[in-house]
Chains A and B, each alone.
Chain A
Amino acid sequence: MPLMLTAGHRKFWAGALHLAVLAVFVVLLAFPFYWMLIATFKQNIDLYNTDNNPFIFNLKPTLDHLKLLLFETGYVRWLGNTALVGAIVVFITLVLALPAAYALARLTGRWGQRIGIAIFLTYLVPPTLLFIPLSRVVAVLGLQDTIWSLVLVYPSFTVPFSIWLLMGFFKSIPSELEDAAMVDGLTHFQAFYKLVVPISTSGILTVVIFTFTLVTQEFVYALTFISPESQQMVGVGIPIFLVRGDVYFWGSLMAACLITSLPIALLYNTFLDRFIAGFTVGAIK
């Protein structure tokens, strides 16, 4: 008798396949974070014994790695550096990108969109092309080995993308709003900062989160411009300076990765859809 698949069977197998695909991808993509979690709390003699099953705690969990990380390494200092650079870069980005995006969305007509695309394309010029000349610029300006080198350079990639995101945002605001304000006697620029900026909180918030996460994720410039341990950002400090000579402190290293990553991931996840919209403009109607 030939094998007959009824509609019910087919539905069952489609569901099973769907579940299997999701399960495989979740395991492959999220496994390293589970692995960081395990290593964070494992005692060294458990961690470094290949006879033990590595997936479980063979000995009692410990807080030693966290203590070492927080009290005996530069980690807390690096967090502070990163937060400071992030805050200043966010400020510079908003000051430059808000007016520029508004101008390109509203005031410059057909050319606005084209200039916007040109600006967006500069976001694609990678750090690995510019870090060599910039390392000398930074040295000539006397900013080498300080976080100010990053404060200067990071807006060069946060501003283009933010302009692009905000242009889309401003276009979605009806222009009758400013027209009415200008009839009431405000100049166009006053209408922009008294009316448009205050109602753009969600667009601004997207730029703030996006800029801040980009600052935490950057690696090449931070690695190139800064050598002293005390001036590091988390993204470089953890992988480079938690290694002494050839000795990796894996427990503390994984703890640092995990507790740095999770807040960034949560923030980014909340704003992801708007961020992706920036990449897909034009391809999706």
Chain B
Amino acid sequence: MAVENRRLGAAMFLPAVAYIVLLIGAPFVLAVMYAFSDARIGTVGFHFVGLENFRSILQSPSFRAALRNSVVFTIGAQVIVIVCSTILSIALEKPFRGRGFVRFLILLPWVVPISLGAIGWKWILDSIYSVITWVLVWLHIFKPYNAPMWLGEPHLAMASVILVHSWRLIPFSTVIMLAGLTAIPKDIPEAAAIDGAGFWRKLFQIDVPMMLPIISVAVLFGTIFTFTDMTVVYILTAGGPFDSTQVLPSLAFATGIQGSDLAAGAAISLFLVPVLALIAYFMLRAAYRAEVA
């Protein structure tokens, strides 16, 4: 019976595993091979060239900018997302009238296609017709002719892509944390309230520590979704001005697809792997703990 079950089990899950191996495993191996080759769009074969691609990208200023920007983009967005979604999840946990509708509005940035949300922001941050600029001019903070170009100046452009990406991720982290908050046993906060702990003390000594495991889940997923994303950057700035918002995925696209240099593009995207491996390790550790406990 057990043997029969195992055979049937294997027959039922192997097709899915085969699909995943062919479309994730095999391309991954190909990406590694391309990184050490001279593959280009328009040809079929390739030759191995050793570390040549890595040598040339490590010397390229664009790559160094992308590496640095990727770190800033990822950490910046995570900090904003975690702070905002912790606050928002605590505010949303209490039942109130209209919570369902408020939740729907708050979730919009996550559930709509990101390319469409990003193009909406491109209009809000437009160089001439930006509503933010209009308000600042109206408040006499800027004169119309020297208003900031949100996507046209390096630091402002970086801040813009970080904020738009955070806008997209805050709802996702918030619902993950809400799920975690609802799972916190209610008797502990209540006991604390009876003991006379005020709001802030209760927040920092009880709520936040108890939320830490779920905050770490949100950070792990958020880091992956940010570090490997190119949509927001591609639509808002296409990496510009002067590579000031170029991140590793957008540079890999610009080099490998638009520039036809598959090999260099693959080499650039391989720099995503160490971070992915680290996160996979933390997730496996959490899963293992859950299995043992």
- Among A121, A126, A128, A217, find the residue whose CB has the most chain B CB atoms closer than 10 A: A128
Interface segment among B59-67, B113-121, B153-161: the answer is B113-121
Contact B269 A26 (CB under 8 A): no
B227 to chain A, nearest CB (A): 8
Task: Verify if B16 is at the interface (C-beta below 8 Å from A).
Answer: yes
Question: A55 CA to B293 CA in the complex, in Å?
Answer: 55
Contact A100 B266 (CB under 8 A): no
Contact A253 B113 (CB under 8 A): no
Question: A235 CA to B13 CA in the complex, in Å?
Answer: 32
Task: Verify if B139 is at the interface (C-beta below 8 Å from A).
Answer: no
Contact B91 A257 (CB under 8 A): no
| Residues of A within 8 A of B (CB-CB), count | 98
Contact B170 A238 (CB under 8 A): no
Contact B111 A254 (CB under 8 A): no
Contacts known (A107-B8, A133-B27); A156 close to B176, Cβ less than 8 A:
no
Contact B5 A130 (CB under 8 A): no
Contact A261 B176 (CB under 8 A): no
B57 to chain A, nearest CB (A): 14
Task: Verify if B102 is at the interface (C-beta below 8 Å from A).
Answer: yes
Contact A48 B175 (CB under 8 A): no
Cβ proximity bits B224-245 to A, threshold 8 Å, 1 near / 0 not: 1000111100110000000000
Cross-interface CB contact of B27 among A102, A113, A134, A236, cutoff 8 Å:
A134
Which residues on the B side are within 8 Å of A172 (C-beta)? none
Question: A99 CA to B31 CA in the complex, in Å?
Answer: 30
A209 to chain B, nearest CB (A): 11
Contacts known (A30-B106, A159-B16); A279 close to B221, Cβ less than 8 A:
yes
Question: A220 CA to B235 CA in the complex, in Å?
Answer: 11
Q: How large is the interface on B (under 10, 10 to 19, 20 to 34, 35 or more residues)?
A: 35 or more
Task: Verify if B84 is at the interface (C-beta below 8 Å from A).
Answer: yes
Which residues on the A side are within 8 Å of B170 (C-beta)? 25, 29
Task: Verify if A88 is at the interface (C-beta below 8 Å from B).
Answer: no
Task: Verify if B206 is at the interface (C-beta below 8 Å from A).
Answer: no
Which of chain A's residues has its CB closest to B227's CB? A126
Contact B88 A124 (CB under 8 A): no
A56 to chain B, nearest CB (A): 12
Task: Verify if A119 is at the interface (C-beta below 8 Å from B).
Answer: yes
Question: A281 CA to B183 CA in the complex, in Å?
Answer: 12
Within 8 A of B (CB), among A125-155: 125-137, 139-140, 152-153, 155
Which of chain B's residues has its CB closest to A187's CB? B8
Cβ proximity bits A75-90 to B, threshold 8 Å, 1 near / 0 not: 0000000000000000
Within 8 A of A (CB), among B186-226: 199, 213-214, 216-217, 221, 224
Contact residues of B with A, CB < 8 Å?
A: 4-6, 8-13, 15-17, 19-20, 23-25, 27-28, 30-31, 34, 39, 41, 44, 84, 87-88, 91-92, 94, 96, 102-109, 111-121, 123-124, 126, 128-129, 131, 134, 144, 167, 170-171, 175-176, 179-180, 183, 199, 213-214, 216-217, 221, 224, 228-231, 234-235, 248-249, 252-253, 256-257, 262, 265-266, 269-270, 272-273, 276, 279-280, 283-284, 286-287, 289-291, 293
Question: What are 23 pairs between A and B in contact, CB < 8 Å?
Answer: A18-B96, A22-B91, A25-B170, A29-B108, A31-B124, A33-B112, A48-B129, A103-B9, A115-B17, A128-B249, A131-B256, A133-B31, A163-B16, A213-B111, A220-B230, A235-B115, A257-B119, A269-B104, A276-B175, A279-B221, A281-B290, A283-B213, A285-B183
Sample of 13 more A-B contacts, CB < 8 Å, known A31-B124, A96-B15, A129-B28: A50-B128, A100-B12, A100-B13, A102-B12, A124-B276, A128-B229, A131-B253, A260-B112, A261-B116, A264-B111, A265-B112, A277-B179, A285-B183
